[in-house]
Amino acid sequence: MNKISDAMISVIIPAKNEATGLDKVLPAVRNILGGAELIVVNDGSSDNTGKVAADYADKVINHPHPMGNGAAVKAGARAATGEVFIFMDADGQHSPEDIPGLIEKLNQDYSMVVGARHSSTHANLFRRIANFIYNRLASYLTNQSIKDLTSGFRAVCADDFRAFLYLLPNGFSYPTTITMALSRSGKTITYIPIKAGKRSGKSHINLIKDGIRFFVIIFKISALYSPLKIFAPASLLCFILGSSYYLYTYLTDGRFTNMGLLLFVVAMLVFMIGLVSEQITTLLYVASNKRA
Same domain, 116 and 238: no
For residue 1, tell me if it sits in a domain. Answer: no
Same domain, 130 and 242: no
pLDDT of residue 289: 59
pLDDT in tens, 5-34: 999 999 999 999 999 999 999 999 999 999
> Roughly what angle, to the nearest 10 degrees, separates helices 207-225 and 258-291?
80
Same domain, 88 and 168: yes
Enter the pTM of the model: 0.80
pLDDT in tens, 227-253: 888 899 999 999 999 999 888 888 888
What residue numbers bound the domain in which 235 lies? 228-291
pLDDT in tens, 133-143: 888 888 888 78
Average pLDDT along the chain: 86
Same domain, 207 and 235: no
The average pLDDT across 106-124 equals 83
Same domain, 251 and 120: no
Same domain, 111 and 134: yes
pLDDT of residue 51: 95
- Of 189-198, 209-218, 247-256, 267-276, the range with the highest mean pLDDT is 267-276
Residue 54, pLDDT > 70, answer yes
pLDDT of residue 218: 67
Read off φ and ψ for residue 156, nearest 5 degrees: -145, 145
Same domain, 277 and 198: no
Same domain, 134 and 272: no
Of 177 and 198, the structure prediction assigns the larger pLDDT to 177
Same domain, 201 and 267: no
Same domain, 89 and 211: yes
Of the three residues 225, 244, 274, the one that is the final residue of a domain is 225
pLDDT of residue 227: 86
pLDDT of residue 73: 96
In this structure, the chain runs to a length of 292
Bridge pairing between strands 9-15 and 84-87: parallel
For residue 50, tell me if it sits in a domain. Answer: yes
pLDDT in tens, 193-212: 998 766 555 555 555 666 66
Same domain, 242 and 218: no
Of the three residues 170, 190, 225, the one that is the final residue of a domain is 225
Same domain, 117 and 80: yes
Residue 222, pLDDT > 90, answer no
| Identity of residue 73 | V
CATH code for position 137: 3.90.550.10
**CB 180, CB 141: distance < 8 Å:** yes
